[in-house]
Structure 1
Amino acid sequence: MIHNNTNQKGFILPLTMILSLMLLAFVFHALLLLTSDRQFFRQSYSQFQLQQLRECTLTDLKREMKQKTLPNKGTFLYHKGTVQFIVTENDDSVTIKFTILGGESQEIDQIIYSKESGKPVNWLERLNR
């Protein structure tokens, strides 16, 4: 009987520990990436909803101004959120400040229309930041 004496006692445990640690680090890294991607998706979706609500609001405000039925204060209710607005009239312009409430997020915007042309002359977004 021939015996190869390579003396490999205690070799498998450290190798297994190192490989397990590397695998655990990889899984932890993947979880961090997933969490980061989820947070980015939520923020992007929230911004998209606010943008959609803003566009709907501007369309409704233009329509109300053309029909001359825009009240000094009001609320628009949409499927994805609510928009509250306050209208302030000057001699030559109309200032509309509106608060967009969409899900978890909120944004305050302001638009100034010229009374003469009926077109926007100034636009400010995210006044609450």
Structure 2
Amino acid sequence: MSTLILVVDDEPDVEPLFRQQFRRDLRAERFAMAFAPSGYDALRMIGETRDTSLILILSDINMPGMSGLDLLPQAKALRPDVPVIMITAYGDAETCARALEKGAEALLTKPIDFAALRDKIETRLGISA
């Protein structure tokens, strides 16, 4: 069983950015990362994670079609055990409150503080930072 983090974002530069930031972890197989370009793809992938240990979902809020705020309750319904962290370029109080009301564990603003994100991942892996 592999440990998986799902990143949901419609921007094509997100996958190489995350792979670069976590290259050592990925190379050491501490965890794997999967990338979904839409909320719809994310829901399909979440439904297919029965044989993996999905430990975290990171989702952009502003995406065409299904927004991250629309995805959030559906993802939590499929996998209530998996925390969801929302990512947005607009970290206003209203957006943060809406995300937390819908079940998000946290809200990160862009540009992403990868040190803070790494701490959250380490916590999910059961490793003290």
TM-score by length of 1: 0.26
TM-score by length of 2: 0.26
Structure number with greater CO (CA < 8 Å, separation at least 6) is 2
Q: Whose radius of gyration is greater, 1 or 2?
A: 1
Whose strand proportion is higher, 1 or 2?
A: 1
